[in-house]
Amino acid sequence: MIIKTKNLTKEYEAGSQIVKALNGIDLSVEKGEFISIMGPSGSGKTTLMNIIGCLDSPTNGTYHLNERSVSELDDDELAKIRNEEIGFVFQSFHLLPRSTALENVMLPLKYAGCSENEAIKRSKKVLENVGLQDRVKHSPSELSGGQQQRVAIARALVNKPSILFADEPTGNLDSKTGNEVMNLFKDLNNQGQTIIIITHEDNIASQSNRIITIMDGLIESDTRN
């Protein structure tokens, strides 16, 4: 079991009011699953991703990642887990504009203290795995939107994370390029990568193996394709 949450809640203060973003989420994710989390704006899906992605902590409840309790870890401990266990891909690619594709992918390895030679070797390998072996020296401005997203995916994968999170990963792409990115996710999943996608698009969610719908901070449905 990679992810196990029990009665996960998250509350925010909004002026004099308390807003409940999550109202008690019980979620289990097995290694190798390909999951889409859906829900309208304000449903709690992004809050859930932030907590299980170790970007935030719950107000109450428990969260175990790879059987390790992470619900009450401090910011430094959460940052260490994010760098070692979790990869993120976002709608906006968040690439450094003046760095090459290779340099962008190398960033997490540098934060992890990897040697220069090892970082270059591993980054070139993962860029090859996403079909960009001939674009390693190109800057983001010299790449198409789909190629930039592939660089972002390579950067998320370079530390060999337990889980790959993708938040609206096709939102800035045309339908053809979006399908190419989804095919890449499916290939990665077939190789054993656990993937969780946050999306509001039915056609994107339908390509995963399991669809979880969040409504009002609760899991409304959990179905398998």
- Per-domain boundaries in the chain: 3-224
Q: Average pLDDT of the chain?
A: 93
Task: Decide: 8 and 21 in contact? Cβ < 8 Å.
Answer: no
pTM of the model: 0.91
218-222 average pLDDT score = 96
What does the alpha-carbon distance between residue 85 and residue 102 come to, in Å, rounded to a whole number?
21
Fold of 3-224: Rossmann fold (3.40.50)
pLDDT tens, residue by residue, 149-203 = 999 999 999 999 999 999 999 988 888 999 999 999 999 999 999 999 999 889 9
What does the alpha-carbon distance between residue 205 and residue 20 come to, in Å, rounded to a whole number?
26
Give the residue among 36, 39, 86, 45 at the shortest CA–CA distance from 66. Answer: 86
| Residue 33: predicted pLDDT | 97
pLDDT tens, residue by residue, 56-91 = 889 999 999 999 898 778 888 888 888 889 999 988
